[in-house]
């Protein structure tokens, strides 16, 4: 009988967002960064796809192994994107950045 190898079960990383003075954003639970420039950072997180918008944005630290992302700049907004590519409406952060 052939041996079957099972892939290890991936434990989800805690997803947390901490922002200091709209200039420094620390996020945990990041799986990957898809795209970034000085106006937008697109990341995959444990809670779904996320877009960070602003100006003069720079990725200070990205550690995919530990799930940590740190972004610095003028942070204008944070939004989660649903499966159809539309921004999720409502939610605390959505109301906070309107």
More confident residue, 42 or 4: 42
Q: Using CA atoms, how far apart are residues 33 and 85, in angstroms rounded to an integer?
A: 16
Q: Using CA atoms, how far apart are residues 43 and 34, in angstroms rounded to an integer?
A: 6
pLDDT at position 81 is: 87
Average pLDDT over residues 65-86: 87
Rounded-to-10 torsion of CA 82, 85, 89, 91: 40
Band (pLDDT 50/70/90 cuts) for residue 33 is very high
pLDDT in tens, 39-49: 999 999 988 99
Average pLDDT, the chain: 85
Sign of the alpha-carbon torsion through 47, 51, 54, 55: positive
Band (pLDDT 50/70/90 cuts) for residue 12 is confident
Fold classification of 16-96 (topology level): Immunoglobulin-like (2.60.40)
Whether 84 has a pLDDT exceeding 60, the answer reads no
Whether 26 has a pLDDT exceeding 90, the answer reads yes
pTM: 0.74
């Amino acid at each position: 009988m052939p041996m079957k190898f099972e892939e290890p079960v991936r434990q989800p990383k805690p997803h947390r967002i901490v922002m200091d003075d709209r200039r420094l954003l620390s996020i945990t639970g990041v799986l990957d960064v898809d795209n970034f420039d000085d106006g937008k950072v697109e990341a995959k997180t444990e809670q779904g796809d996320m877009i960070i918008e602003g100006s003069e944005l720079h990725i200070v630290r990205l550690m995919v192994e530990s799930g940590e992302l740190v972004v610095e700049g003028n942070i204008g907004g944070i939004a989660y994107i649903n499966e159809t590519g539309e921004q999720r409406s409502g939610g605390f952060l959505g109301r906070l950045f309107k």
